[in-house]
A = this chain, B = another copy of it.
Amino acid sequence: MARSSDGNKKERIMDAAVVEIAHRGYHQTTVARIAKRAGVADGTIYLYFKNKEEILFSLFDRAMGRFIDEGRASLEKSSEAPEKLRRIIELHLTLVGEDRDQAIITQVELRHSLHFMDQLSRAQVGEYLSIIGQVVVQGQQKGEFRAELDPVFAAKAIFGVLDEMATDWILSRRNTRLESKAGAVFDFLWAGLKPSC
């Protein structure tokens, strides 16, 4: 079976890891279990990943890459800052909400340790925050958002609200769609951002 079905084997392992880790948690998940679900031998995992932790990092990279890429792409389509804000909110909630297992990885399992979060936040989370921050800056320049607001602070506040909605959605077992919160989130944040009158 070698050499032919290679292309997707790493992906298959990652997909299996998402399911297993989402269900049992990272530390209760054995490498053997991931291998079994992926349909490969235990040792095969180590042909694609240096160790167990690297699997988790890869899951993060794959997920965060989508947030950043699609975030950037979506912002190009609109020009008004409030509209961009709305798009960011919708995209964030849609991406988190479309796969519950992946969301558990992102919202819970990836936040295991300070050491781990540190690496995450320095890299791509920081980049994502800066995308949000740029929207705020642009809005301020055009007078659409309050000028006295620190854009770095605002980006964190926006992210905080989105993140809390995502975590809350995972913990509530009800069958709601996460995107359905987008309107309320936008209204709330927009009220906090627009120039007071």
Which residues of A are at the interface with B, using a C-beta cutoff of 8 A? 22, 25-28, 104, 108-109, 111-115, 117-118, 121, 146, 149-150, 153-154, 156-157, 159-165, 167-168, 170-171, 181, 184-185, 188-189, 191-193, 196-197
**What is the CB-to-nearest-CB distance from A67 to chain B, in angstroms, rounded to a whole number?**
16
Q: What are the residues of chain B within 8 A of A185 when measuring CB–CB? A: 157
Q: What are the residues of chain B within 8 A of A25 when measuring CB–CB? A: 112-115
Q: What are the residues of chain B within 8 A of A109 when measuring CB–CB? A: 113
Q: List 12 A-B contacts (CB under 8 A).
A: A27-B112, A28-B113, A108-B112, A117-B167, A118-B171, A121-B171, A146-B191, A153-B181, A153-B184, A157-B161, A191-B196, A197-B197
A150's partner among B111, B184, B197 (CB-CB below 8 A) is B184
Q: Which 3 A-B pairs have the closest CB atoms?
A: A160-B164, A192-B192, A25-B113
Q: What are the residues of chain B within 8 A of A184 when measuring CB–CB? A: 150, 153
**Residue among A109, A150, A171 facing the most chain B CB atoms (10 A cut-off):** A171
Contacts A114-B108, A191-B191 given: A164-B165 contact, CB under 8 Å? Answer: no
Alpha-carbon distance A191/B146, docked complex (angstroms): 10
Q: What are the residues of chain B within 8 A of A188 when measuring CB–CB? A: 149, 153-154, 157, 192
Alpha-carbon distance A10/B129, docked complex (angstroms): 42
Q: What are the residues of chain B within 8 A of A22 when measuring CB–CB? A: 114
**Closest Cβ neighbor of A181 among chain B residues:** B153
